[in-house]
Amino acid sequence: MLDLAGGTTVYLACGATDLRKSYHGLAVIIKLKFKLDPYSRCMFAFCNRRRTSIKILQWNGSGFWILMKRLDRDSFLCAFIIVRSNLQYALRKSCSGYW
């Protein structure tokens, strides 16, 4: 089951990611580009270039979950701030209205 516990760390990748990538493609980005463990219980969020879609990857112990949200109108208001290897540790409050 997807772990939405209050203490879950969420990493937000800065910039655009090709969201056609699936489980393994996103896990490779997490491991090679960001030097993090995709098999941790953290959530890793990726956004497309137009900021109309977000894809979240999380390992639950037996497999990966992918959660995806696409907006029909508007775009996400997330500020993609560069912090520690182009990752931000938590989603900004401006994103909370779209979840």
Contact (CB, 8 A) for 16 and 49: yes
Tens of pLDDT, residue by residue over 19-57, are: 999 999 999 999 998 899 999 988 899 988 888 888 999
Pairing of strands 53-59, 64-70: antiparallel
63 membership: H or E segment, kind and range: none
Higher pLDDT, 49 or 76: 49
Q: What values do phi and psi take at 22, rounded to 5?
A: -105, -155
Whether pLDDT at 81 is above 50: no
69 forms beta bridges with: 54
Higher pLDDT, 86 or 46: 46
pTM of the model: 0.73
Percent of the chain with pLDDT over 90: 33
Strand order in the sheet with 43-47: 64-70, 53-59, 43-47, 10-16, 87-88
The structural domains of the chain, with segments of one domain joined by +, span 10-94
